[in-house]
Structure 1
Amino acid sequence: MTTEHPVRNADTTESKYRPTPRFEQPLSDDEVWTMLQTAVNSDRIMPIVKGNWQQSARDYDSAERAARALVFDLSFYTNYRFRQVRRLFRQTGMRDVLTDVEIDDIVEAAYFEQGGRSYPTFE
């Protein structure tokens, strides 16, 4: 699952979207996990976090699609801080389902799909 994307310098704001912080302070990793566990849609999210993406409340036809959904959820709660997204994703059970390259591709694709909305922490 490799997709070609133009390389962007994360320290620039080339995107027409400006990040809109939802939280005054960034959430810690523990706070993000708490938010995911207590979210209204946790029955969809938590099976993916545990690596049991087939048991999610939503039908995903592949591990990649489930992982992508999780990346978008993590992006939302981290306020599009992709360094934190990548770190959190690698703490989930999906790290045993996908390779590091696949994980990086999914995180990068989410970054571009979300219009590059990110603080300059995409490393």
Structure 2
Amino acid sequence: MSSKRNVRSTDTTDAQKANSTPRFEQPLSDDQIWTMLQTAVNSTRIIPIVEGDWKSSTRSYESREDAACALIFDLSFYADYRFSQVRRLFKQTAMRDVFTDTEISDIVEEAYILQDGRSYPTFT
């Protein structure tokens, strides 16, 4: 994957700056995100990818790269599309060697655009 932008902020995309939408009141911690992923309704799809066993996911992926991309989409959604947090979380998984930091950032940006900036609600 090549970089889609010349200048990249660590935690926002150009689309986020232009189309600001309500986000989390406070960012979720890494631990909160891992807990949410483990208890999510679709955890049987996500957790095998986190563990590197993407073939046993409940969703069929054609390649390891497709599964890693799906994981980055999920992490992005929970991390409110913060590049630095998504990269950090992804590097804690067994899929960590699939993409470079730049590729991860490109996928996070793509996720933001495709999800139209939607985020999970704030839990109080």
Provide the TM-score with structure 1 as the length reference. Answer: 0.78
Counterpart of 2:89 in structure 1 is 88
Counterpart of 1:9 in structure 2 is 8
Counterpart of 2:104 in structure 1 is 107
Unaligned runs of 5+ in 1: 118-123
Identity over aligned residues, as a percent?
51
Deviation at 1:4? 4.3
CA RMSD for the aligned pairs? 2.3
- Alignment counterpart, residue 22 of structure 2, candidates 16, 20, 23: 20
Alpha-carbon separation, structure 1, partners of 2:58 and 2:108: 25
Alpha-carbon separation, structure 2, partners of 1:20 and 1:106: 26
Moved more, 107-116 or 66-75: 107-116
List per-residue Cα deviations over 1:78-122 (Å, max 9, x = no partner). Answer: 111110000000001112x52xxx2424412223312396xxxxx
Unaligned runs of 5+ in 2: 118-124
- C-alpha contact (below 8 Å) 1:44/1:58 kept by paired residues: yes
Inter-CA distance 4–82: structure 2 relative to 1 (3 Å threshold): closer
Q: Which secondary structure does the structure 2 equivalent of 1:47 belong to?
A: helix
List per-residue Cα deviations over 1:27-66 (Å, max 9, x = no partner). Answer: 1111100000000000000000001011110000011110
Q: How many residues align?
A: 111
- C-alpha contact (below 8 Å) 2:3/2:102 kept by paired residues: no
Inter-CA distance 20–110: structure 2 relative to 1 (3 Å threshold): farther
- C-alpha contact (below 8 Å) 2:81/2:109 kept by paired residues: no
- C-alpha contact (below 8 Å) 1:36/1:42 kept by paired residues: yes
Q: Which secondary structure does the structure 2 equivalent of 1:54 belong to?
A: helix
Provide the TM-score with structure 2 as the length reference. Answer: 0.77
